Amino acid sequence: MIQASGVVFARRGRVVLDRVDLVAAPGTVVGIIGPNGSGKTTLLRMLFGALVPDAGTVRLDGQELGRLGRRQIARRIAVVAQDPPGDIALNVADTVMLGRLPLRPALALPARGDYAAVAIALNRVGLAGLAERPLSELSGGETQRALIARAIAQEADHVLLDEPTNHLDIRYQHEILALVRTLSATTVIVLHDLNLAARYCDRLLLLDEGRVVASGEPGDVLHPENIEAVYRVPVSRIPLANGSMHLIFSDTASTRPVDESSLLSQHSENEIGEHP
Ligand SMILES: Nc1ncnc2c1ncn2[C@@H]1O[C@H](COP(=O)(O)OP(=O)(O)OP(=O)(O)O)[C@@H](O)[C@H]1O
């Protein structure tokens, strides 16, 4: 269980997170959503101790994160960060083996159990056939799967993911999130796509300008009123037969303050006026 209580974070005189509460109950998938710059990544980084709150606390199974060492945290929290490693000259199996580092004594070589865990993780994400491939030669979707395999091999009971569907096509988006759902870990995931969030998360936290606008079940959080207030985009909600929903975002042209074509014609008229 991960619990953030009254978390505050300010930088350069600006409050990035303002008294934010988040609870990820054991085995659940919690989505953090919100517009660009609303504080999603900052909050996620706080949940594994990469950032320390100015006020408030983050607890891991009841223990304050600040009291745990980095290695203790790494044994219990796996992180799939937003930017995959760039030019690292590792193959896929070596990359996944990195997930085993916190589990064995410092400087110890991998043991048979480590190799078995890597093989199981690769198999789970469907990359067993690419184990020897350099990571740099994988597609975006394959790279994300390799990073999730690393998290699986880490055997942590908490997994944090920052926009794991970024740059992925629609098939990989669903494939990656369906894979995340199969993990039994307590999961917190930053997502931009609200329909994916509705489909794959048990609970959502909607942030805007560092504040929690709504939190709870997707059906309650993704209320058109909340979405329109935060994203300033008209939205309709279509109920689906399976009890879920689909959001459709309208063209914002009707909400633009002025007609751009009239501006263009005005501009060209002025030009004609200025240069007879
Ligand atoms: N160390 C820092 N110093 C100054 N400003 C920061 C720092 N960290 C974050 N910010 C600012 O805090 C705000 C929230 O950033 P954050 O990356 O958490 O947003 P986000 O919701 O994840 O955005 P996006 O959807 O664009 O990824 C941004 O305006 C960012 O510029």
Q: Are residues 92 and 196 in the same domain?
A: yes
- ipTM associated with this complex: 0.96
Kindly calculate the radius of gyration of the chain based on its CA atoms and give it in whole angstroms: 22
What is the spatial distance between Cα 238 and Cα 122, in angstroms, rounded to a whole number?
37
Domain boundary, last residue among 232, 250, 268? 232
Is residue 144 domain-shared with residue 166, that is, in the same domain? yes
Residue-wise pLDDT for 168-200, tens only, equals: 788 888 988 998 998 889 999 999 999 999 999
Same domain, 181 and 245: no
**Same structural domain for residues 201 and 212?**
yes
Report the SS3 class of residue 53.
Answer: coil
Q: In whole angstroms, give the CA distance from residue 114 to residue 190.
A: 29
pLDDT at 261: 61
Q: Rounded mean pLDDT of the chain? A: 88
Please report which confidence band the pLDDT of residue 275 belongs to, taking 50, 70 and 90 as the band edges: very low
Task: Check pocket membership of 144 for ligand 1, CB cut-off 6 A.
Answer: no
pLDDT for the residue numbered 140: 83
Task: Kindly give the distance from the C-alpha atom of residue 97 to the centroid of ligand 1, in angstroms, as a whole number.
Answer: 31
Yes or no: say if 67 and 13 are a contact pair by the CB < 8 Å rule.
Answer: no
What lies within 8 Å, CB to CB, of 269 at 6+ separation is: none
How far, in whole angstroms, is CA 160 from its chain's centroid? Answer: 7
Mark whether 144 and 161 lie in a shared domain.
yes
Structure confidence at residue 258 as a pLDDT band (50, 70, 90): low
Report how far residue 60's alpha carbon sits from residue 47's, in angstroms, rounded to the nearest whole number: 9
User: Which pLDDT tens digit goes with each residue over 26-66?
Assistant: 999 999 999 999 999 999 999 999 999 999 999 999 999 99
Residue of 252 and 74 predicted with greater confidence? 74
Contact, 82 vs 140, CB < 8 A? no
Biggest CA-to-CA distance, the chain: 84
Probe residue for ligand 1, chosen from 38, 54, 162, 191 as the CB with the greatest number of ligand atoms within 8 Å: 38
Rounded mean pLDDT, 115-140: 92
Return d(Cα 20, Cα 5) in angstroms, integer: 6
What are the start-end ranges of the H helices in the chain? 40-47, 70-76, 92-97, 112-124, 140-153, 170-182, 194-200, 218-221, 224-231, 260-274
Task: Name the pLDDT band for 272 (thresholds 50, 70, 90).
Answer: very low
Same domain, 125 and 191: yes
> What is the number of domains present in the chain?
2
Instruction: Tell me whether strands 55-60 and 63-64 are parallel, antiparallel or unpaired.
Output: antiparallel
**Ligand 1 pocket test: which of 16, 20, 192 has the largest number of ligand atoms within 8 Å of its C-beta?**
16
Q: Do 124 and 183 sit in the same domain of this protein?
A: yes
Residue 15 clears pLDDT 70, i.e. is over it: yes
Task: Give the tokens for residue 104.
Answer: 């064995």
* C-alpha distances out from residue 53 to 42, 191, 197, 206, Å: 10, 22, 26, 19
Residues 244, 197: contact at Cβ < 8 Å? no
Residues 171, 226, single domain; the answer is yes
Answer yes or no: do 20 and 95 share one domain.
yes
Taking CA atoms only, the protein residue closest to ligand 1 atom 30 is 37
39 lines ligand 1 (CB under 6 A): yes
Please tell me the predicted confidence (pLDDT) of residue 276.
Answer: 40
Best of 7, 9, 11 for a ligand 1 pocket test (most atoms within 8 Å of beta carbon): 11
In this structure, the answer to whether residues 209 and 86 fall within a common structural domain is yes
Looking from the CA of residue 42, the nearest atom of ligand 1 is: 18
Q: What would the mean pLDDT of 59-83 be, rounded to a whole number?
A: 91
| Mean pLDDT within 206-223 | 96
Q: Is 133 or 111 the better-scoring residue by pLDDT?
A: 133
Question: Whose CA is closest to atom 8 on ligand 1?
Answer: 42
pLDDT of 273 strictly over 50: no
Taking CA atoms only, the protein residue closest to ligand 1 atom 18 is 39
What is the predicted pLDDT for the residue at 274?
45
Q: For residue 156, give the amino acid letter.
A: A
Q: What is the CATH number of the domain that holds 192?
A: 3.40.50.300
Report CA 142 to chain centroid distance, whole Å.
Answer: 17
Average confidence (pLDDT) over 209-231: 95
Query: Whole-prediction pTM value?
Result: 0.87
The whole-number pLDDT of residue 241 equals 85
Cβ 13 under 6 angstroms from ligand 1: no
Does residue 208 share a domain with residue 154?
A: yes
Atom 3 of ligand 1: nearest residue by CA position: 11
Non-local CB neighbours of 213 within 8 Å, separated by 6+ positions: 34, 206, 207, 226, 229, 230
pLDDT value at position 87? 61
Q: Does 225 have pLDDT greater than 90?
A: yes
Q: Which pLDDT band holds residue 107 (cuts at 50, 70, 90)?
A: confident
Asked if residue 251 lies in contact with residue 241, where contact means CB atoms within 8 angstroms, the answer is no
Residues 21 and 102 in one domain: yes
Confidence of residue 250 (pLDDT cuts 50, 70, 90): confident
- State what percent of residues in the chain have pLDDT above 70: 88
Give residue 65's domain range: 2-232
